[in-house]
Amino acid sequence: MMRFLYTLSIFSLLAGPLLAQEKSATSPQEASIPRKVYTTAPATTPPDIDGLLNDAAWDAVEWGGDFTQREPDKGAPATQKTAFKVLYDAKNLYVAIRAYDTDPEQIVRRMSRRDGFDGDWVEVNIDSYFDHRTAFSFTASVSGVKGDEAISNNGDVWDAGWDPIWYLKTSVDAEGWVAEMRIPLSQLRFANKAVHTWGFQISRLNFREQERSVWQYIPPDAPGWVHLFGELQGLEGIKPQKQLEIQPFVLAKADRYQAQEGNPFASGRDRSLSVGVDGKVGITSDITLDFTINPDFGQVEADPSQVNLSAFQVFFPERRPFFLEGKNILTSPLTESVAGGSFNSDNLFYSRRIGARPHHYPSLQEGEWARVPDNVTILGAVKLTGKNKKGFSWGLLETVTAEERAEIDAAGQRSERTVEPLTNFLVGRFQQDLKEGKTVFGGMITAVNRKIEHQHLEYLHKDAYAGGLDVQHFLKDRKYYIAGNFTLSNVRGTPEAITRTQRASERFFQRPDADHVEVDPTRTALSGTSGTVKFGKTSGDLVMQTGLTWRSPGLALNDAGFLRSSDLLHQWVWAQYRKLQPFSAFRWLRVNANEYLSFDFGGTNTYRAVNVNGHTQFKNFWALSMGSTLEGESISNADLRGGPGIRYPGGLNYWYWLGSDRRKKFSMEFNHYNRWGWEGISRYQEFYSGMSYRPINALNLSLGANLSFNENQQQYVATRQLQGQDRYLTATIDQQTVGLELRFTYILTPDLSLQFWGQPFMSKGHFSQFKQITNPKDAAYSKRFTTFGPDQLFYNRETELYYIDENRDGSTDYQIGNPDFNFVEFRSNMVLRWEYIPGSTLFLVWNQGRSGMLPLNRTYQMNGLSEGLLDVPPHNIFLIKYTYRFVL
């Protein structure tokens, strides 16, 4: 109750003055901005989309124009004139944009892959639902590259995974440059009625001046985007189109790797040929069905390398096209704190659970070999999405993954063992807009059901369900908002499965000092809750957010969602002062202040900190960011992996980032992060340097290098037992990590590109000063542990084991493996992509990977690790993928 009253007082102290201040703030200014209207007309003859603007069809409508700067000089007239025309017929919307330029030779014509948004561009946003919250975006660069995004949450979310079929041609002439677009109505969504009014916006970027101008002026500090659009009128007699697209593919794959002696499954050569199909069907004007059968994700770029020394799962973003498109629909974040926090990745749905590695790996006897699938096969997936004219939107995803079996060979005798059961994933989401999006409420459910028929898989949940409700309400012309959500989860299975869930790293119910949780080995179900309440201000020079979020100890989401840690109650305050208008040497400036406070459900204060940071861009287009955080004492309930909470001294960190002018052919950036833990407990430093070089418009080279040093006196090593008592062992780690990232992109045409990505990664860690945690929460740091002396700790280089004689009686009490590591990895991808007709693509892919642990019996410096990387045998994969999209 005291924590609740504390948080409530923060809400009151911040919200009261801000609400009072806003009565005379920016509302009159925004109300004085007139809503623009452009009236279109039907095209008697469709114009040719050739980028020349010489068709008589365009004479049927007047030019629109009179653009206003949004950046940098908000509200000022655009320095270069822009004009546009819009036509339509029964099947298409036609847009012509003339971007005048007084110096056409200086127009920046950079090439990029789709959604690259490089160089000069113009953009059309269409709110065809006219719901004031969602829109479709079509971007045309002067070089002819397309960009397209699905906009949601009133402009807060831009989904670049949406790839509609539309047509574009551009040209440059003595007056500037021209873009002509043909957008099939089948790619838009709108109601079935006689006369339409759509929200409409056109933006332009003058790249060399970094000037963003818009047709309908919307201030950069406005509380939203879509709801402030101008209007497109004059649309009569058009009907929603029932979209039907079928895209079959053929994939040929060849693997080359080092053969393993004696392993019949590792001959060094594998080949496969597979077929699949993706499709999109407009069932009605309001409902769209996306489906995939036997999908392939072979050309997807690999995840970045890292060594995870924590107790928690690592979040990786989704990269697979089927799950990327429309991801804004099937998502329900648990918090979304502007102040940041490790819990910000928590979500009811994490699509990477689908098609992940199998959960089980068979135990092998000597002389046995196994072939285990790298990923679970997705047999098929169906995604239904829709939105009606009353503002009700929904999405439904149904996915079935195969029962996977490992093939086991024992001296020529073959057998199979199931490593993943047949599994069904169901995800549903709905949202209802009220009062033109001023109030939005919604809900989401997820269900995972496994057909478990084998005893060795009974440690998995048989059923996992989660669901939640959320609401957001805007106040004072959307300048303020209050939002909240509530989530409930339930998992079911055998006592073994639920015991494993209670002891998992997200919960650690077995903690001996946690009175509010305990492991119950008889349970067959576990339930939990989470929730968030937050209040914020979204416009003006001062914006802010404060909130409270919790995760109950029994919350379990990781069958379909992502949950880093439960047993959490966290409060935060974030405030930002911003100057979005150029002044002095600055183009813009933002300064943030943050406060954080965390507890567990037992009432223990686990974390507290304050932070300040600032971000700016100078008038010479260089940019600078910097910040610092002061942390108080903290307690981790996870670092001893189920042991008691351990108290850490506080610390201080600072960081800064400097970036040069990205308009230039050569640009670079540098970042430095430095943290000290008090009492010398830890020191962490990280350096990053990146550079990009574009010798010609079609070629871009970039290189990034990351170097980090990690020293920590209390890195967890192992838990051992002596005379029935647990011993929690830590050590001082000295870790060095180097990572490089190289990209090469050559765009021959907007539809034909060659791209290479490579990442060598090396990390070495040495452990010393091994310790036993004795009194982990003692007020004095030095009394929380005992360091083993040379007469207690013995290392055998041949067995690579440490033998510990805790009581110095001459006999070993327990032993641990050498935790040192020399990890090396190289990942690369080279992709030739040719979109030979819109929506149909040919991929040629070469992927190479090297990964391994180098021997511990050698002392490697970092340059030695790089040499050792070349000794790791490569695994090469060659892919040819051909797709053809039928639009029916």
Q: What is the pLDDT of residue 322?
A: 80
| Residue spans of beta strands (DSSP E) within 283-412 | 287-293, 368-371, 378-387, 392-401, 404-410
With 60 as the cut, is the pLDDT of residue 9 above it? no
Q: What is the pLDDT of residue 860?
A: 60
Token pair for residue 126? 């269409």
Q: How confident is the model at residue 11 (pLDDT cuts 50, 70, 90)?
A: very low
Q: What are phi and psi of 753, to 5 degrees?
A: -145, 155
Contact 459/491 with Cβ under 8 angstroms? no
Cβ count near 783 (within 10 Å): 11
| Residue for token pair 């309908």 | 216
Region 302-326: mean pLDDT is 77
The SS3 assignment for 219 reads coil
With 90 as the cut, is the pLDDT of residue 342 above it? no
CA dihedral 214, 220, 225, 228 (to 10 degrees): -70
Q: How confident is the model at residue 23 (pLDDT cuts 50, 70, 90)?
A: very low
Nearest to 486 by CA among 505, 506, 466: 466
CA–CA distance, 265 with 753 (Å, rounded to integer): 36
Opening angle at CA 202, ends 198 and 206, nearest 5: 175
* pLDDT-wise least confident of 290-304, 372-386, 413-427, 660-674: 290-304
Higher-scoring residue by pLDDT: 240, 300: 240
The DSSP bridge partners found for residue 647 are 635
With 60 as the cut, is the pLDDT of residue 431 above it? yes
Contact 438/476 with Cβ under 8 angstroms? no
The SS3 assignment for 745 reads strand
Q: How does pLDDT run across 483-542, given as a tens digit for each residue?
A: 999 999 999 999 999 999 999 999 999 999 999 999 999 999 999 999 999 999 999 999
CA–CA distance, 666 with 702 (Å, rounded to integer): 10
CA–CA distance, 96 with 63 (Å, rounded to integer): 9
| Residue spans of beta strands (DSSP E) within 553-604 | 568-579, 586-599
Enclosing H/E stretch for 736: strand 725-749
* pLDDT-wise least confident of 386-390, 457-461, 680-684: 386-390
Residues 6+ apart with CB under 8 A from 139: 117, 121, 122, 123, 124, 146, 147, 148, 149
Q: What is the pLDDT of residue 7?
A: 41
Q: Name the residue ranges covered by the structural domains of the chain.
A: 33-236
Report the topology of domain 33-236.
Answer: Immunoglobulin-like (2.60.40)
Token pair for residue 494? 């055998």
Full 3-state SS string of 645-669: CEEECCEEEEEEEEECCCCCCEEEE
Q: What is the mean pLDDT of the chain?
A: 91
Token pair for residue 593? 């202040």
Contact 528/552 with Cβ under 8 angstroms? yes
CA–CA distance, 157 with 332 (Å, rounded to integer): 13
**Judging by DSSP bridges, how do beta strands 586-599 and 568-579 pair with one another?**
antiparallel
Token pair for residue 598? 């965390």
**Judging by DSSP bridges, how do beta strands 568-579 and 801-804 pair with one another?**
unpaired
Q: What is the pLDDT of residue 295?
A: 79
Contact 752/843 with Cβ under 8 angstroms? no
Higher-scoring residue by pLDDT: 162, 208: 208
Q: What is the pLDDT of residue 4?
A: 38
Opening angle at CA 783, ends 310 and 805, nearest 5: 75
End-to-end CA distance of the chain: 61
Q: What is the pLDDT of residue 751?
A: 93
Residues 6+ apart with CB under 8 A from 510: 502, 503, 518, 519, 642
Q: How does pLDDT run across 105-125, given as a tens digit for each residue?
A: 999 999 998 998 899 999 999
Nearest to 557 by CA among 604, 507, 595, 597: 507
Q: What is the pLDDT of residue 98?
A: 98
With 60 as the cut, is the pLDDT of residue 884 above it? yes
Contact 232/38 with Cβ under 8 angstroms? yes
Token pair for residue 19? 């609400």
| Residue for token pair 């409060």 | 571
Contact 177/104 with Cβ under 8 angstroms? yes
Full 3-state SS string of 255-312: EECCCCCCCCCCCCEEEEEEEEEEEEEECCCCEEEEEEECCCCCCCCCCCCCCCCCCC
CA–CA distance, 645 with 728 (Å, rounded to integer): 11
Contact 320/156 with Cβ under 8 angstroms? no
The SS3 assignment for 104 reads helix
H helices of 616-748, in order, are none
Region 403-418: mean pLDDT is 94
Q: How confident is the model at residue 582 (pLDDT cuts 50, 70, 90)?
A: very high
SS3 content of the chain, % helix, strand, coil (to 5): 10, 50, 40
Q: How far is CA 115 from CA 139, 143, 148, 750, in A?
A: 8, 13, 6, 11
- DSSP class of residue 782 equals G
